[in-house]
Structure 1
Amino acid sequence: MTGQEVLAAEGVTLAYGPTAVVHDVTLPVDEGGVGLIGESGSGKTTLARGLLGLLRPRSGVIRYGSRDLASLDRRGRAEFRRAVQPVFQDGSEALDPRMTAEASIAEALTTHHRMGRDERRGRVRDLLAAVGLDAALAGRRPHEMSGGQRQRVAIARALAVEPRLLVLDEPTSALDVTVQARILDLLEGLADERGLGYLLITHNLGVVGRLCRTSHVMFAGRIVESGPTRDLLTRPAHPYTLALRDAVPRLGGEPPRASGRTEAAPAGTGCPFRLRCPFAVDRCREEAPAPREVEGRNVACHRAEEVLTGLAPDAVPVPGAAPSPGAGPRQDDRGDAPDAPRQ
């Protein structure tokens, strides 16, 4: 389901001190499911912090509806905090270890709603039931619950204020496979029942493939490909999206290929992915690719058409780019041999 735009980053750059981590990112989040995919260190969580109002942009604008998040008055900020709720990676870090599940959920209700003790207690029970937990769990503290139970309590706490949008930062990565499946079932059901939107931040392509109609791929703090999730996963148009897909182990298939280098190219020196890219040519070293529309998605790649068609890399390689199958060693921009692939 897609709907009205709730939250959006427009040309946003985010930094910690003098170091920019997210660069000129535009990302709309509507009332459907939107995925944000990338490796650890790609800037996903930093972008989430900006979208939640926890980190002010160095440049660009973050909008809640049609309003600049930075210009909201006290009433507007309270409305925003009700409408957009975070669910973090580990429920044990999101919940106060001194508080019971009931107290954690009731705290959110007390902050945003006026209700009596009995009404509040009944609402906590309803929320626990909504996330598939027994009311008897209400008196337990985080250390007395399993990882899956803690994550469900964290989701119940977020739902307490009846939000329009959840920002889910790797919500299943700390859980085992069986519990992950239950949490995904829960999120899918909540989206259908409540019309709830979500921004799902993950490195797990299977998760976005199941829950998100639209996805954005992030590398080195930049969005390199955006479009329908199914298209991104079945026919990637950016070499990085292709590398992410090919890195997923397949039962009975060949082991994932080593990519050699893991770092991004230095800022201001062309395409940041060129050191790892088997499609890279001289132009990639000299000119940073601007996002452009290619077959229904936006792609920041000079050679997106070749990636889509699956043609083997052909032109003169960029020094330091990942070698094509059968290619000999290459020199990088500093004249050093590239790192050997890990065995």
Structure 2
Amino acid sequence: MSERPAVLGAEAVTLAYGHTAVVHDVSLSIGEGGIGLIGESGSGKTTLARALLGLLRPRSGTITYGSRDLTSLDRKERARFRSDVQPVFQDGSEALDPRMTVEASIGEALTTHHRMTKADRRAKVAELLTDVGLDPALTARKPHQMSGGQRQRVAIARALAVEPRLLVLDEPTSALDVTVQARILDLLERLAAEHGLGYLLITHNLGVVDRLCRTSHVLFAGRVVESGPTTDLLTRPAHPYTLALRDAVPRLGGEPPRPAGRTEATPAESGCPFRLRCPFAVDVCGKEAPQIRDVQGRMVACHRAEDVLAEGEVPHAPRK
């Protein structure tokens, strides 16, 4: 059976604030199922998400909705886009007006995209709250009267109210404690299966992306440095940055996690951007920026990708 066409995509997208480019030549497509976007703070993940949501215009390249350039949509098509593609932010309170009750907040989303009576709207709000594992009795509460996990579930219910095809999830569990994180992940997994949702999961948490995403892209300094099946990226990384991110994750009963390279080093302005932090760097890394290429079933921008795969772990001392 052939796959559905992508709902949302980026083709050679470069994004900038003023004269400073912060995302460089990124391409990806998001259809049914989960796509991960992994990277440290400042790697350009959220900037790319804002562009995919139509909030930033690319300096170059194209954001597509279906087969259409996002910038060319007419008023009716843009309304359909806003219904089809919904954001879920790091903190549920970002999506909720502090002055509005849960019922009013979710009801507002319903009213914007659907014509329904007051009774039908109230019933739909209760149904959505139940769907995300909340008691409909919470409808009279305001955001400050709920826990972080409850607010995040309300934000997800609000996003689902317009029957989207795709969710853009920007660090949706990072503001929550571990137990609540697990519940939200269970919820997202169930909703994706039941509703056939696609989603872009933006995170620095490799455990989250491992659970929810079949394919992932690793972003460093606004550039995709490795892309491929998530399991392959996390079990046998081919880029030193992916390897460093994986090895920075604590393991029960194991050695203390290693830092993700020399974190104080800014991206290099010439050659490979990661070379100032890279224990695999050699002369060519300072002379030529690596082009992204196929290496054993994933795309990697690294001159020494085969060596990274063969070694399997970050060496203790930089190589000359």
Q: TM-score range by the shorter chain?
A: over 0.9
Aligned partner of residue 122 in structure 2, secondary structure: helix
Q: Deviations over 1:85-120 (max 9, x none)?
A: 000000112210000011000000111111111111
Q: Deviations over 1:181-207 (max 9, x none)?
A: 000000000011111111000000000
Q: Partner residue of 2:252? A: 251
Change (3 A) 1:43 1:2: farther
Alignment of 1:132-143 (within 5 A): 132-143=133-144
The more displaced of 12-21 and 131-140 is: 12-21
Are 1:37 and 1:205, in contact at CA under 8 Å, matched by a contact in 2? yes
Q: Partner residue of 2:266? A: 264
Q: Partner residue of 1:182? A: 183
User: Where do 5+ consecutive residues of structure 2 fail to align?
Assistant: none
Deviation, structure 1 residue 261: 4.2
Q: Partner residue of 1:230? A: 231
Matched residues in 2 for 1:194 and 1:311: separation? 38
Give the count of matched residue pairs: 318
TM-score of the aligned structures, taking structure 1 as reference length: 0.90
Are 1:3 and 1:32, in contact at CA under 8 Å, matched by a contact in 2? no
Are 1:261 and 1:275, in contact at CA under 8 Å, matched by a contact in 2? no
Moved over 6 A (4+): none
User: Where do 5+ consecutive residues of structure 1 fail to align?
Assistant: 314-323, 331-343
Deviation, structure 1 residue 27: 1.2
Deviation, structure 1 residue 3: 3.8
Matched residues in 2 for 1:21 and 1:86: separation? 21
Are 2:243 and 2:313, in contact at CA under 8 Å, matched by a contact in 1? no
Q: Deviations over 1:121-154 (max 9, x none)?
A: 1110100000000010001000000000000000
Paired residue type of 1:325: H
Change (3 A) 1:292 1:88: same
Aligned partner of residue 289 in structure 2, secondary structure: coil
CA RMSD of aligned residues (A): 1.6
Q: Partner residue of 2:103? A: 102
Are 2:268 and 2:276, in contact at CA under 8 Å, matched by a contact in 1? no
Q: Deviations over 1:249-299 (max 9, x none)?
A: 1111111224334333333x0100000111111111110011101111100
Deviation, structure 1 residue 311: 6.9
Change (3 A) 1:22 1:136: same
Matched residues in 1 for 2:207 and 2:317: separation? 31
Change (3 A) 1:126 1:326: closer
Matched residues in 1 for 2:86 and 2:297: separation? 31
Matched residues in 2 for 1:59 and 1:326: separation? 39
Change (3 A) 1:327 1:16: closer
Are 1:238 and 1:304, in contact at CA under 8 Å, matched by a contact in 2? yes
Q: Deviations over 1:148-191 (max 9, x none)?
A: 00000000000000000000000000000000000000000001
Q: Partner residue of 1:282? A: 283
Are 1:2 and 1:33, in contact at CA under 8 Å, matched by a contact in 2? no
Q: Deviations over 1:211-245 (max 9, x none)?
A: 00000000000010000000000000000000000
Change (3 A) 1:179 1:311: closer
Matched residues in 1 for 2:159 and 2:304: separation? 42
Q: Partner residue of 2:316? A: 325
Are 2:16 and 2:58, in contact at CA under 8 Å, matched by a contact in 1? yes
Paired residue type of 2:146: M
Q: Partner residue of 2:9? A: 8
Q: Deviations over 1:14-55 (max 9, x none)?
A: 111111111111111111110000001100000000000000
- Pair member with larger Rg: 1
Identity %: 76
Alignment of 1:105-184 (within 5 A): 105-184=106-185
